Structure 1
Amino acid sequence: MQWLVMIGAVVSLAGIAGLLWCVLMALKARKSSADDEELRLRLQRVVVLNMGALGLSALGLMLVVSGILLA
């Protein structure tokens, strides 16, 4: 089940990269937004992407654990 661990590691790394991307998007939105309403809308979008990236990372971790337990 080594292939399952490797796939899980790649999926987890993609999720972590997504989380870092969300942090950068939030910082950029905070710097560039002049209006509170615009900032709120941008940050709502970032929250949705953040939850997706977190879910992807958790899915990858589950794949890694499954691969280890099945080995």
Structure 2
Amino acid sequence: MDYLLTGGIVLTLAGVALLLACVWLAVRAKRSGLPDDRMKAALQRVVALNLGALALSALGLMAVVIALILG
């Protein structure tokens, strides 16, 4: 169970790091002063990355909870 717990913690921290990167990318895009169409495209890429990071973090948290229940 230690491997499941450690893997879950790593996945969760990676997801949180990607979420922070999404915030940084969104703020950088907002401050860049791009035209509306390019701004929309940049933020759509950030949203896609954000959803992936959220899924990664959720999978990690599920692994941690399962490891705690079984251990």
Identify the TM-score tier after normalising by the shorter chain: over 0.9
Q: What residue is the counterpart of 2:66 in the other structure?
A: 66
Unaligned runs of 5+ in 1: none
Select between 25-34 and 38-47 the one with higher mean Cα deviation.
Answer: 25-34
Within-5 A mapping of 1:1-71: 1-71=1-71
The separation in 1 between residues aligned to 2:6 and 2:21, in whole angstroms, is 23
Tell me the TM-score normalised to structure 1 length.
0.96
1:3 deviation in Å?
1.8
Count of residue pairs brought into register by the alignment: 71
Tell me the TM-score normalised to structure 2 length.
0.96
C-alpha RMSD of the superposition: 0.7
The separation in 1 between residues aligned to 2:33 and 2:46, in whole angstroms, is 14
1:33 deviation in Å?
3.1
Select between 45-54 and 2-11 the one with higher mean Cα deviation.
Answer: 2-11
1:2 deviation in Å?
1.8
Q: Deviations over 1:11-70 (max 9, x none)?
A: 000000000000000000001133011100000000000000000000000000010111
Letter in 2 for 1:53: A
